Every structure is written in structure tokens, then in C-alpha cells.
Amino acid sequence: MIAERLTAQLLAGEPARDPLAVAERLLAIQGQDPRGARLAIRARTAGLSAGDVDRLLNERLLLITWLNRGTLHMVQSEDYHWLHTLTAPTLLTANARRLAQEGLPPDAATRGVGVIERALAAEGPLTRHQLRERLTTAGVRTEGQALVHLLALASLRGLIVRGPLREGHHAFVLVRDRLGPPPSPVERPRALAELARRYLLAHAPADERDLAKWAGLPLRDIRSGLHAIAPLLAPRADGLLRLSGRPPAAPMPPPRLLGAFDPLLLGWRSREAILGPHRSIVTVNGLFRPFALVRGRAAATWSMTRGEVVLEPLVRLTRRDTAALAADAQDVVRYLAGGVTGA
């Protein structure tokens, strides 16, 4: 099963040709950690740099916004409208609750969204710091987590997304300026079917509850989507699903360093197959640390200190594995040097 999932995730077999191909396969890449999102693409491609991701963000082919489970995700721009329409409405109640906790009742939150929209319409892309200044001047509360949840509300309402980079930081921009007029709406049954198909392309074998957790949608919606693509499914003896006609699993990949919040840890209900007894080390208080994947299992965590990768083994590593990880660490440094990795 691990080999199949690694192949579906583009971590085994032929690498993807470019960042767009990774986003096409994975559909939504966890994006709240800018470096982690770029490293997710590095691990699934070859010979690129973080600058290749930055370029596509600036060229409007990729964007980052709140989708699925209520966290930031990087997606192809062409997937934005149908995926936003499908998943954003389920997040509004939780967002309103968090805004109220931060001292912004509905009327104040709506006024804050209006300030954001007018500022972007008048001035073009603005960073979070610049939007904080505009909101503060308008008398809208931004202390604590209020600003983050205001930006999320504007995103959930389909008004703004994160797009171009400004001095190393993602700037927010109006959706209409970024993507132009919206296309004809995708009917919900068709969107659910596409969600199910695209999820299984990157996560099979998996089941309906895995998809429900990943997408943040109720099981009734997930079952509707899976039912719509039933002719494409090839159920396994263990009850997990995959798409028929997919190529067999590729051999296990060589040891590789994965970044923070790598999609490999976020696509299923259980992470035990990858993390084993090390779950509490790799996932700490909602944070997903960078880790080394060796023969399909987490074998170390890693960090960067003064531009160098520092490895902290979780298990005994062979000399060959250590050498392979050292070589991959050099590639991480090379990759990150070629782009912007600020928040």
C-alpha cells in the first residue's frame, strides 16, 4: 500500500515535469508554510528551483488561498473556482466563530472585508502588513489573530487570493483582477465527481473517510462524488479504492527529504504507515516538521541552520542512507537558493 501511495503522490517513479504538473496531480498542496509548499514540489520534480514556483505564482498560473480543511492551499488557478465553490462555504461558520473570539462580530468583520476589497481595488496587490495598515487606519481591529481571520473571510467570500510575490512576501489580490471574469459555475454533482477522481489520482488506495477528512466535506457529499465515478473505480479486497487502469506501483524511491506539512502526511486519516512510533515527534501541536523518508517510512527530522541542513535521525541509518540524505540535503539548499521563501 505504501508503494502505491508514494507512486500516486509522485514520490516514486518518474518525477513530474514542472510545478503545474505537481499541482495538477495533488490538486491542493498545503500552503501555510511557504518553504514547505515549495519543498513539496521539489520532492516531486527534478532539476527545478523554488524560483520556478515563484514564477508561476507571479504569472497567475498558481495561487494560494483558504480551501478544503480551512488551511491555505496552493492550487492551479484553473482549479480555483470549482474547488472554492465546493469547499469554502463549509468554513464560514468556524471563521465567524474565530472572528467573534477576536473581537470582530459580523458587522465589524463585514466592514473589515470592505476595507480590504477597496484597498486592493484602488492599489493593486498588497501584502498582509500593508493591509494591516489600511485596516488600522480605518479603525478595524487587527490585533491577535483578527487580521488572519479577516483575510480568511475575504478569501472564503471569493474576493481575494494570495498570488504575486512582493519583496519576498505573498501579496493579496482581488480574484477578479487575478483571474478575470469567473467561468460558468460547475454544477455541484460534477464538482464532487471531479474532487473524488482527482483525490484518488494522488492518494489511492484510500477510502471515503480519508477523502472526507482531506476535503473537509461531509460523508454524504463524498459518497455522492464517489458514486458518480463508480465506473472508474477498482475496489481492493481490503475495501480501499483506487482508479482502474492506473500503472502499477513504482519501486521504493531513494531516501529523500520532505518539507514541513508535506502532502504525504495530510491525505489520509492515519499517518501510522509513514510515521510509525514517531508521530508525536514529526507532528507536534498541529505543526508538521520536515522529515526524511527512507524506504517509505519517516527515518529522521531535519531543519536548516545557517543555510545547512541538520539531520536528527529517528532510527539507525545505514551509511548508504546517510550518504543519500546528505546528497539530497545539498539539493535542498540549491533548490531554496533559487527562489523566494518568505512568508
Q: Once rounded to an integer, what is the mean pLDDT over residues 330-335? A: 97
CB contact set of 189 (below 8 Å; sequence gap of 6+): 224, 225, 228
Contact 178, 124 (CB under 8 A): no
| CA 257 – CA 88 distance, rounded (Å) | 32
Whether the per-residue pLDDT at 249 is higher than 90: the answer is yes
List the Cα angle 37/9/4 in 5-degree steps: 155
pLDDT at 343 over 60: no
Question: In the block, which residue shows the cell 494591516?
Answer: 132
User: What mean pLDDT comes out for the span 280-307?
Assistant: 95
Q: Please name the amino acid found at residue 330.
A: Q
| Calpha distance 21→194 (Å, rounded) | 17
**Quick one: which of 298, 233, 264, 243 has its CA closest to 22?**
264
Residue 240 and residue 205 in contact, taking contact as beta carbons nearer than 8 Å: yes
Q: What is the DSSP string of 15-33?
A: PPSSHHHHHHHHSSEE-SS
pTM (two decimals) = 0.94
Is pLDDT of 145 > 50?
A: yes
- Give the model's pLDDT for residue 163: 80
Give the full edge-to-edge strand order of the sheet including 297-305: 256-258, 291-294, 297-305, 308-313
List helix spans (H) across the chain. Answer: 2-8, 19-26, 34-42, 50-58, 77-87, 92-101, 106-123, 128-137, 146-156, 175-179, 188-203, 208-215, 219-228, 272-275, 279-282, 319-337
Ranges of each domain in the chain: 2-179, 256-337
Residues 6 or more apart whose Cβ sits within 8 Å of residue 54: 165, 339, 340
Higher pLDDT pick, 168 / 96: 96
Output phi, psi for 341, to 5 deg.
-125, 25
Partners of 287 in the β-ladder: 284
In this predicted model, what pLDDT tens digit does every residue of 77-107 receive, in sequence order? 999 999 999 999 999 999 999 999 999 999 9
171: part of which helix (H) or strand (E)? strand 169-174
200 vs 205: CA distance, rounded Å: 7
Q: Give the Cα separation of 114 and 313 in Å (integer).
A: 49
Give 188-210 pLDDT, tens digit per residue.
999 999 999 999 999 999 999 99
- Weakest mean pLDDT among 72-81, 162-171, 273-282: 162-171
